Amino acid sequence: MSGLGGARNLLRHPLRTALSVAGIAVAAAMLLDMVMLSGGIERSFERLLLARGFQYRLSPRGTLPFDTEATIPNVSAVVTMLRRDPAVMAVTPVLGAAIFGRRRGDDSLVTLFGYGFDPSTHALDEMLRGRELAEGDSTGILLGAPAASLLRAEPCDTVTIVGRLDPEAAAPAVERRLVVRGIVRWIYDYRGQPSVGTTLPLMQRLAQVASEDRASLALVKVRDELATPATTARLRRELPGIEVNGVADLVRHFRERLVYFRQLALILGSVSLIVTVLLVTTLLTIGVNERLGEIATMRAIGVSRASVLREVMIEGLVLVVIGGGLGTALGLVTARYLDAILTSFPGLPAAFSFFVPRPRPLALAGMALLVTGALAGLWPAWLASRAPIAETLRAEAT
């Protein structure tokens, strides 16, 4: 009965209640987004790194993968050594280089990003149409959709790829006509990045690093139970000239760089909870003050302080539940919209996401919101339950 009264009390002033619910919904949406943002970046980054199950990234000493243009020399020797390691299941060296392509039709040069890799590992791409490169395929190439669009090419078309330009002669050093085997999605590409991929030896020739057998990084997959700090330490010992980073290390580096996102999320999340408290407390305090006469009457006819307290707190909870429900929907929509904006920043993988829903933090945020609503109702509820009966009734009668 008291609960029923509590919920219905909110309908006395529908517009006022609606505005408060809207305010709580906005605050809840912000809280939801900030919870998704706070850990979502790391989670998304980790998922991206483990997309093909490679738990280690080997890069030139003192660098992070693709952080600089530095490369690992004699990468084949490194790969051979790693493949002899019983813990290692797969190794794939990757070379990333700026190259060029001739646009079909007008022969103009367009800038591309070229991957050289071992096609058998499928470490970098997801096939959209056509087929994968065969191992040792020296005449085939895979195009990402933006590159295919730039080059105006489709599977089975022939495209001309131009290697690194010679700064002295201003003429292309290496030029190859290659057959497009397939159109792929490059997992680590940013949105709109025009990337192509060939076998590693071919890309090394295009990038003019074949003689030194260079690669930008190597991806290493070990048996899951062996992806431990001990394995990391052992690989570091065995490869002193190379930076060995496990996924956890890379996530840590990433976290350090994006610490301000977490701080922002924490601050805005806290602000949203404070706003919720203020909204609920204000609405309930106004409501209680308007109903002091009724509340005094209830107390006079024998309704206990606990019941009055419960009724007002139920009002707060109902407000928060409705506002939280609407806020969840609003938060998911705004998260999608904000994600689209943030992931369009240059240099961020398109598969990356800033707002990742995770059940436990979301459940905790929901609980925090409910507790906040209940606590916000405490003060007005306490005021209501402590209203002096006789004094209030006297005031009402005059």
- Residues at the contact surface with other proteins, assessed by CB under 8 A: 1-2, 4-5, 8-9, 11-12, 293-294, 297-305, 307, 389-390, 393-394, 396-397
Q: How far is the CB of 360 from other proteins (least distance, A)?
A: 39
Q: How far is the CB of 302 from other proteins (least distance, A)?
A: 2
Choice between 12 and 336, CB closer to other proteins = 12
Choice between 329 and 395, CB closer to other proteins = 395
Residue 203 — φ and ψ, nearest 5°? -65, -35
Q: How far is the CB of 290 from other proteins (least distance, A)?
A: 11
Amino acid identity of 175? E
- C-alpha 224, offset from chain centre: 24
Choice between 6 and 60, CB closer to other proteins = 6
Q: How far is the CB of 303 from other proteins (least distance, A)?
A: 5
Q: Residues near 167 by Cβ (< 8 Å), separated by ≥ 6?
A: none
Angle at 174 between CA 168 and CA 175, to 5 degrees: 125
Choice between 153 and 284, CB closer to other proteins = 284
Give burial (CB, 10 Å; 0-12/13-18/19+) of 237: exposed
Q: How far is the CB of 370 from other proteins (least distance, A)?
A: 24
Q: How far is the CB of 305 from other proteins (least distance, A)?
A: 7
Choice between 19 and 300, CB closer to other proteins = 300
Choice between 177 and 394, CB closer to other proteins = 394
Residue 32 — φ and ψ, nearest 5°? -60, -50
Choice between 271 and 303, CB closer to other proteins = 303
Q: How far is the CB of 297 from other proteins (least distance, A)?
A: 4
